[in-house]
Structures are given as C-alpha cells and as structure tokens.
Amino acid sequence: MVAPMTELFTSVGYDNVFRPGWILHNIAEGGSCLAVMLKTKDKDLKSSALSAAIGAIISGVSEPALYGINLRLRTPIFGVVAGGLVGGAVAGFMGAKAFSMGYSSILGVVIFENTMMAIVAGVIAAFLVSFLATFVLYNGKTVND
C-alpha cells in the first residue's frame, strides 16, 4: 500500500486514506487488548494483552494484538472493527490528512499538521469504541476454557 500512498502525496500533497486508517487500526487494536486485559482472570493472557496493547498504541506494531489476542479470542475483533469504523468516520468527517510519512501509532499524529485535531478526535473515538465494545462482548475466558 506504500505505492498508492506515495501517489497520493505526490498528486494531491496529502494522504487522507492509508495513514489515518493505519493509525486508527492500531489504536483500536490497543483499546481492544486493554479491555481483554481488564476482563480476563488468566495472568498470562493479562500480561500478553497489556504488552500487545502498548505495542499497538505506542509503537504501531499491531501483529501481536491482532494475531495473539483479538483474532485468537474471536469476540475482541468485533470491538476492533467497531472502533476502526467509528474512529475512521470521525477522522474522515473532520478532514484528517497526513502530510508526510510517519509512524502508525499515537506518535504519528504530528504528521497531520493543521488537521491534527481531526486525527486526535478519531484516535479517541477508535480507542473508546473498541475498548467499550470489547469490554461488553468479551466474556473473560481464554480459548481453552
């Protein structure tokens, strides 16, 4: 997806599709993992969910959250989808536009320059919706229970 994103930068001067979507996805993954961490009684899962959440939100590495927690437990992925949908809608309606390449994490909001408040609103919405949806949907059990 780097080629079409680069094309957006060169043709219109900003990216309002890929970079916002990647950041919002990672934030939603992290929010969902934090809800799993709070609901589960399993100490290993609690630890894994916390580290996956931190990795997704701070560093933009969402694979441990996606494959290790949310898809494996099944119901948390619905929270991720809901969070990404709402966060993307908020950021899109407010006009979030990335003006350069950057991190796909909370640290990447600075690349949105004068539309930074739009992506911050989207980040907040994505996090809250994914956290709340997962908290409601997830029953606290592991796959083996």
Walk along the chain (145 residues) and give the pLDDT tens digit of each residue: 888 888 999 999 999 999 999 999 999 999 999 999 999 999 999 999 999 999 999 999 999 999 999 999 999 999 999 999 999 999 999 999 999 998 899 999 999 999 999 999 999 999 999 999 999 999 988 776 6
Q: Which two tokens stand for residue 59?
A: 């560093």
SS3 98: strand
The CA-based angle 9-11-17, given to 5 degrees, is: 50
- Confidence (pLDDT) at 144: 66
> Is 105 within 8 Å of 59 (Cβ atoms)?
yes
- Global pTM value: 0.94
φ, ψ for residue 61, nearest 5 deg:
-95, 105
> Is 126 within 8 Å of 29 (Cβ atoms)?
no
- Confidence (pLDDT) at 145: 60
Cα 19 from chain centre:
12
